Amino acid sequence: MSIRLKNIAKTYGKAGRGVSRALEPLDLDIHEGELIGLLGPSGSGKTTLLRIIAGLEAADTMSDRPSSIHFGDRDVTHLHVRDRRIGFVFQHYALFMHMSVFDNVAFGLTALPRKQRPSSGEIRARVQRLLEMVQLESLANRYPAQLSGGQQQRVSLARALALRPDVLLLDEPFGALDAKVRQELRRWLRHLHDELNFTSVFVTHDQEEALELSDRVVVMSNGRIEQIDSPEVLYRSPANRFVFEFLGDVNRLEGHVHDGTLTCGDARLDVDLDEGSHELLLRPHEIKLDEHPTELAHLPVTITAIAPVGAEVRVELEADWLAEPWLATIRHADFERLRIKRGQRLYAIPRQWHQFPAANQRSIASETMS
């Protein structure tokens, strides 16, 4: 079921007494069967947007531009939460602590009006199937307090799916879990989504989670949508500086360009830019280290910290001409070849850099590979 939002805005507080805009008026189209990640820092409005889709919160009513929410052909703008046919998964599970796992999952079915309610035998069979799906069939008679966080979140997912909702909404579903369980559940949710083919929207502040799990990511900040794209496009061509900075670590190089050379203290870099002040941004993996400068780049740095993390080595670089230290990720082979130690002086060589001249323009990425 597709989700179509039009003119959704949300303001908290009363006029004249410190109004805060949680959401600027925005439109969003989510296609049938998509898994969409709402990504942004806290206060960006992503959870508010999710709760408005669910109907747990109401969008502002604007007389000049009426807002609307459609699930497929169904206009749900004025429909109560309980009639929207959504599944909602909360960050802290919100399981009913006084009910067994079985009763939790069965809640939606047993709460149906008598006429629509399936027979108790059918309810039992359906709950059993759901518990098998989340691999918890052996724990049906336990209480939530007896389960681990990951198991509780799986129960809450089974509960949300019991009524076969049109859309599944997840509010930071893995936020309260530890890294390993989170990874496992992510993969499992992706699998479940592909198998059952519902439309899902989930909120996260973890860019890795958003990029790994989503078909498309909606990046938000300050109540606005900054960019909507697939993870590949998002990472390759961020729409603006905010998106670029939010999606990963960023190193900054500020300097003055004269005659095609950017200088900053005793650092030099040949660039194809106009005269004047410029700021360049570099990802950690776009920095190479070597014992000698090149003709194009003369950027002397000192190694101040080394941390081997998985497939690469994270190295912190400092220099007089840098306002804040740089972070570079280099391959183990280079690390060993250069015999990198703390305090060692080397030269940084950018493979590529990015620049965002003005707001809301596509990036200019340049190859400066030596």
Partner 1 sequence: MHRIGDAPKVRRALVSAAVILSALFLLLPLVAIFAQAFSAGADVFWRNITQPDTLSAIGLTLFITVLTIPVNLVFGVALAWLVTRFRFPGRRLLQTLIDIPFAVSPVVAGLVYLLLYGRNGWIGGWLDTHDIQLMFAWPGILMVTIFVTCPFVARELIPLMQAQGSRDEEAAVTLGASGWTLFRRVTLPNIRWALLYGVILTNARAVGEFGAVSVVSGAIRGQTNTLPLHVELLYQDYNTVGAFASASLLALIALLTLATKAGLEWRAARREA
- Interface residue list for partner 1 (CB under 8 A): 54, 56, 81-83, 86-88, 90, 92, 94-98, 107-108, 111-113, 156, 159-160, 162-163
Nearer to partner 1, 23 or 168 (CB): 168
Buried b / exposed e along 167-200 (16+ C-beta atoms within 10 A) = bbbbbbbbebbeeebbeebbeebbebbeeeebbb
**Interior angle at CA 309, CA 306 and CA 315, nearest 5:** 25
Task: Name the nearest CA neighbour of 88 among 194, 197, 167, 191.
Answer: 167
For residue 284, give the DSSP letter: G
Beta carbon of residue 95, minimum distance to partner 1 (angstroms, whole number)? 8
Beta carbon of residue 149, minimum distance to partner 1 (angstroms, whole number)? 15
Nearer to partner 1, 88 or 244 (CB): 88
Nearer to partner 1, 60 or 316 (CB): 60
Total Cβ atoms within 10 A of residue 206: 16
- CA 353 – CA 351 distance, rounded (Å): 7
Beta carbon of residue 325, minimum distance to partner 1 (angstroms, whole number)? 42
Beta carbon of residue 86, minimum distance to partner 1 (angstroms, whole number)? 6
Beta carbon of residue 369, minimum distance to partner 1 (angstroms, whole number)? 53
Q: Please state at what angle helix 149-161 crosses helix 120-133, rounded to 10 degrees.
A: 130
- Write down the H helix ranges in 216-356: 231-236, 241-246, 332-337
Beta carbon of residue 2, minimum distance to partner 1 (angstroms, whole number)? 20
| DSSP letter for each residue of 242-273 | HHHHHTS--EEEEEEEETTEEEETTEEEE---
Nearer to partner 1, 170 or 322 (CB): 170
Nearer to partner 1, 82 or 129 (CB): 82
Nearer to partner 1, 154 or 159 (CB): 159
- CA 251 – CA 37 distance, rounded (Å): 26
